[in-house]
Amino acid sequence: MKIIKLPSEIEIGQAVGDMFCALAQQNPQAVFGLATGATPIPTYQRMIARCKAGEVSFAGVTTFNLDEYCNLPEAHPQSYRSFMRAQLFGQIDILPQNTHFLDGNASDELAECQRFDALVEQVGGIDLQLLGIGRNGHIGFNEPDDTFTDGSFKVELTPSTIAANSVYFTEDVPMPTHAMTMGVGSILRAKEIVLIATGSAKAEAIKAMIEGPVDPQSPASALQKHKNVTIYLDPAAASLLE
Residue type, 221: S
**27: phi > 0 → left, psi -120 to 50 → alpha, else beta; which?**
beta
Closer CB to ligand GLP, 62 or 142, in the complex: 142
Does 43 participate in binding ligand GLP (rule CB under 6 A)?
Answer: no
Does 137 participate in binding ligand GLP (rule CB under 6 A)?
Answer: no
Is the separation of the CB atoms in 162 and 175 below 8 Å? yes
Q: How far from the centroid of its chain's Cα atoms is residue 12's Cα?
A: 15
| Three-state SS letters, 26-49 | HCCCCEEEECCCCCCHHHHHHHHH
Closer CB to ligand GLP, 56 or 70, in the complex: 70
Does 165 participate in binding ligand GLP (rule CB under 6 A)?
Answer: yes
Is the separation of the CB atoms in 64 and 84 below 8 Å? no
Does 220 participate in binding ligand GLP (rule CB under 6 A)?
Answer: no
Q: Using CB under 6 A, which of 42, 132, 144, 183 touches ligand GLP?
A: 132
Residue type, 173: V
Does 134 participate in binding ligand GLP (rule CB under 6 A)?
Answer: yes
Look up 109 and say whether it is catalytic.
Answer: no
Closer CB to ligand GLP, 38 or 241, in the complex: 38
- Judged by the rule CB under 6 A, the positions of this chain that interact with ligand GLP are 35-39, 66-67, 132-134, 140-141, 165
The catalytic site residues sit at 67, 136, 138, 143
